[in-house]
Amino acid sequence: MNPETAFPRGQALIDGVGAPDGTRVLQFYPHVEGSAVTCLWETKSVEDVQGFVDTTLGDSSVNVCYEVDSEKAFADRPLGMRSSSAPAAGDE
């Protein structure tokens, strides 16, 4: 990953610029050194996210997208993490 290139390009992912219909990032977890990022997306298909991320970030990173097993997954916001400032679906 090239953080100097990936992070400025990645702002478009966070802002949803050019995102496929029904696709938005819900959570963003950057490594403290900027060497990796994990994101949780809401989307109609994994292929939509993979294409959006690959097109937006280009050669600045290697991106792996997969479907989460919603039956086994859980989430809670850790202490110290802020809420997103991105609009919720339908609020735009």
Neighbours of 57 (CB within 10 A): 21
In a structure prediction context, what are the per-residue pLDDT tens digits for the chain, which is 92 residues long?
787 888 888 889 989 999 999 999 998 888 888 888 899 999 999 999 999 999 998 889 899 999 999 899 888 777 777 776 655 555 55
**pTM given for the model:** 0.76
Residues 6 or more apart from 19 whose CB is under 8 A from it?
Answer: 13, 52
Give the residue among 52, 76, 79, 75 at the shortest CA–CA distance from 63. Answer: 52
Q: Are 76 and 33 a contacting pair, CB within 8 Å? A: no
